[in-house]
């Protein structure tokens, strides 16, 4: 920790400037959306989610991937999402 007043002031403002900036963003977000932020229990992650495959197609896809040779499965595990 330095005792140089200039460095202490710079460290203080760089550390504590984030709080007023976050408050400003919070106020702007409230003014823009006109709603309070949602609680985590109120957020619905499933609404609007779309599955492009039917259940049968998904089962066939998983069976095909499970039946692949070991070197292909290792490659997929390491280099694909």
The model's confidence at residue 81, banded by pLDDT at 50, 70 and 90, is: low
Contact present, 49 and 60 (Cβ < 8 Å):
no
Summary count for the chain: helices (H), strands (E): 4, 0
- What's the pLDDT at 70? 96
- Inter-residue contact 36 to 28 (CB < 8 Å): no
pLDDT in tens, 15-24: 888 888 889 9
What's the pLDDT score for residue 2?
67
pLDDT tens for 40-65 read 999 998 888 888 889 999 999 999 99
């Amino acid at each position: 920790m330095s005792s140089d007043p200039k460095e202490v002031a710079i460290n203080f403002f760089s550390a504590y400037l984030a709080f007023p900036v976050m408050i400003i963003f919070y106020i702007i977000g409230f003014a823009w959306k006109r709603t309070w932020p949602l609680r985590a229990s109120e957020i619905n992650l499933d609404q609007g989610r779309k599955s492009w495959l039917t259940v049968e197609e998904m089962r066939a896809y998983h069976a095909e991937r499970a039946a692949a040779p070991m070197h292909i499965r290792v490659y997929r595990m390491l280099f694909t999402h």
